[in-house]
Amino acid sequence: MKIRFYLLLMALAIAAPVAIFSAFALDSLMSSERKAALRALHEAADATALLVDRELSGAEAALRVLARSPHLAAGDMRNFYEHARTADRGEGGRTILFAPNGQQLINTVVPLGSSLPPPPTYVTARTQQVIRTQSTVISGLITGAVQQRFVTTINIPVPLDRGQRYVLASVFSTNYFQDLVVRRRLPEAWVISVIDGEGKIIARSSSPLDVVGQPANPAFVHKTAQSNYGYLRYTPSGGVEMYEAFTQSAMSGWKVSVSAPAELIDASAHKAVITMSLGLLVALSIALGAAVVFGRRLADSIGLAVRSAKELGHGKEPEPQRMGVKEVDDLHQALKSAGMVLAASEAERASLLKSERAARRIAEQQNKSKDEFLAMLGHELRNPLSGITGAIELMEIEGAREEHKTRAREILRRQAGHLTHIVDDLLDLARLSEGKIKLDFQAVDLGNAVQSSVATLRAAGRTHHALALEIESVWMKGDRTRLEQIITNLLTNAFKYTPNGGRITVRVYPEDDDAVLVVQDTGIGISAELMPRLFDIFIQGTVSLDRSEGGLGIGLALVRRLIELHHGTINAESPGQGQGSTFTVRFPRTVHVTSLNSGDCSTDGEQEMRCTILLIEDNEDARHVLAQNLVAKGMSILEAGDGRTGIAMALTNPVEAAIIDIGLPGLTGYEVARRLRSEARTSKMKLIALTGYGQDVDRTDALEAGFDVHLVKPVRFEQLIEEIGKLSR
């Protein structure tokens, strides 16, 4: 058989399944069009529910503002009545103040002093529910006690400082929501309904006077009792078959529905199906005609391609033929270019092999860096653990001399601090890589931060070199704690890689718009090979077998990331190994404006601070030790084991600052802070959170609760003293 006959058979073979599948497609199209129309009903219902919630939320917000009225707090009902009238929404909404028993005290629909009816039972029950739960309650459709009209209400609790309890309510007439649904621009045949939780109609866009207050369609009530979102199809008695989509108001629990005649919903689907069917018939007819017309031309083109293939089989290079059929023309060109393509493929294979080898080298280098890091981590952890184990064994020896025990305690403290530093660096690097570190930017004197870091290192006995400080006062915006972390890492790095007898110079000075920090040492220097990767994670210089320099290769990576978060830059320079190194950090400089702050804690010399501190901590041992340390600093300490006792002490004693644990029995530390901030006598007290909860969200919660500072256990005592000093300044 010739190709033309095969083309006709192919066209018929294609047409038959196309016709079958088209039938399924048309049915699917009809279903999709119907679903699209129903989706439009749902979207209209959702949008209307949002409008209803918006109005209720606005009324609730207005009531919250009104609840804080100083007139109500003072019992000045005349001025409060005038204030309440400003919250009315015209004829559509009024404001009522209820006593705890449900009796109306003020109703802005009538003049102040008018006789108000006794409360119905359901009003008393709703008022007591609001007071008991201290939450907002939205009623369904009820009959107003004064005007005897259908209304809905939103009720909020009003607790006052003197122990008085009221309930404020905003009253909506049915006309209010009626106007809301009528203003929606929807197709004329669509009907919007708002129905309360008991199935009563609150508002409807069609024939509102006849249906407001009437029960909704029983089929609708049954369906919505089972689900808060969906649609149903029903035929009212003697009416037209309808589709009705419904949803539930998130705030009130009311149902909002949008209904439309089923004939209208299905009409668009039928129209789409008819249009698609006609188009399909026309397309199949054109396809069969094209198969006949182009079959002959295609047969001729394939015949020439066969001849060219035979020539190629005999080793001849066929000349490209131009037949006007793109595929056949491409075949001729492909045969001619086959040799060229093979050569190009060989070159590409060689390039891919080279890339694969380079990738393998990178992977091997990364794997080596990982192994070196794990080895260094094991070494860094075993050293302090070994010291801790030895110190514990020394302290357990019977008859050990007191000076040996003192030395053992110093070892425990120092090695525990070393372990804490390792863990903190690893956690900080992990948080930085995940973008979870947030900085508390404030005005910071960079020179002062350097001096503070140096003092801390000296107190810890970590400075054994000649140290020259050339410090100027330069102000910048930054996180004081993170800046000191940057400075300490750079100084520790200089101490570590500078042999005994070396010299370290630290300079701070302004330059143009920058605050500049320079740390220069005369240590082992940086090789040219290491310099490009100096700030990469887990990268170190050559480490000796005894790992005397220590470190995990994360310090400089952490420093660079923290500096970048401060919008700064860091640059390292070294003439070469054995010739020292210089690290230069630049931060954006700011102009500092000196302000006068009243201080509470006065400093007596360099060792003592004169002030009274309230310490609230349920762990008796931790509280006792911290209290004794603070007393040693010259402070007066009040101790409390729970939040309620601490609040009572703060209200009855002159206290300048409070250190509060978060996980307290009874009241949490957050609740204690909020209560202290709410009392006039303690509202200005300095509050420090001292807790084991150290995530970013915990710090945010503490600041929102009213704390000035959030510190994580175990905290260095010097850091705690420094924070107390900052608060006093």
For residue 92, what pLDDT is reported?
A: 67
Task: At 370, list the tokens.
Answer: 């990982």
The last residue of a domain, from among 262, 291, 312: 312
Cα gap 167→337, rounded to integer Å = 89
484 and 418 belong to one structural domain: no
pLDDT, residue 221, reads 85
Distance separating the N- and C-terminal Cα atoms of the chain: 102
Does residue 292 sit in the same domain as residue 405?
Answer: no
Side-chain half-sphere CA neighbours of 37 within 13 A: 23
Q: Which domain holds residue 694?
A: 602-728
Residue 354 lies in a domain: yes
Total count of domains within the chain:
4
Q: Could you tell me the CATH number of the domain that includes residue 622?
A: 3.40.50.2300
Is the domain of 116 the same as that of 254? yes
d(CA 38, CA 247): 13
Q: Does residue 596 lie in a domain region?
A: no
Token pair of 229 as six digits? 């979102």
Residues forming beta bridges with residue 107, ordered by sequence position: 96
Task: Please write the tens of the pLDDT for every residue from 358-380.
Answer: 888 877 766 766 665 555 555 55
Residues 51 and 146 in one domain: yes
What pLDDT does residue 315 have? Answer: 66
Both 612 and 679 in one domain: the answer is yes
Report residue 584 as tokens.
Answer: 């230069």
Question: pLDDT tens digit string along 90-128?
Answer: 766 789 999 999 999 999 888 988 889 999 998 999 999
Q: Which pLDDT score is estimated for 431?
A: 62
Residues of the chain with pLDDT under 50: 339, 342, 543-550, 552, 593-599, 604-607
- Contacts made by residues 635-638, CB under 8 angstroms, sequence distance 24+: 635/601, 635/609, 635/610, 635/611, 636/611, 636/612, 637/612, 637/613, 638/612, 638/613, 638/614
Cβ proximity of 233 and 243 under 8 Å = yes
* CATH at residue 378: 1.10.287.130
| 597 domain-assigned | no
Q: What is the pLDDT of residue 181?
A: 85
* Whether 2 and 80 share a structural domain: yes
pLDDT for residue 321: 65
Q: For 278-425, where are the E strands, in sequence order?
A: none
Q: Are residues 221 and 261 in the same domain?
A: yes
In a domain, 595, yes or no: no
- What tokens appear for 349 in the block? 């294979």
Pick the closest to residue 600 from 590, 612, 582 (CA basis).
Answer: 612
Q: 62 and 166, same structural domain?
A: yes
The whole-angstrom separation of Cα 336 and Cα 323 is 16
Residues 456 and 554 occupy one common structural domain? yes
CATH assignment at residue 20: 3.30.450.20
Instruction: Check whether residue 502 and residue 545 sit in a common domain.
Output: yes
Residues 297 and 384 reside in one and the same domain: no
Tell how far CA 204 is from the center of its chain: 41
Asked if 521 and 578 sit in the same domain, the reply is yes
- Please spell the DSSP secondary structure of 90-101, one letter per residue: GGGEEEEEE-TT
* pLDDT of res. 50: 92
Torsional class of 446: left (φ above 0), alpha (ψ -120 to 50), beta (otherwise) = alpha
| Spatial distance between the Cα atoms of 611 and 602, rounded to a whole number of angstroms | 7
Rounded distance between C-alpha atoms, residue 538 and residue 333, angstroms: 55
**What's the rounded Cα separation, in Å, for the pair 526 and 582?**
10
Q: DSSP states of 622-678 as a string?
A: HHHHHHHHHHHTT-EEEEESSHHHHHHHHHHS--SEEEE-SS-SSS-HHHHHHHHHH
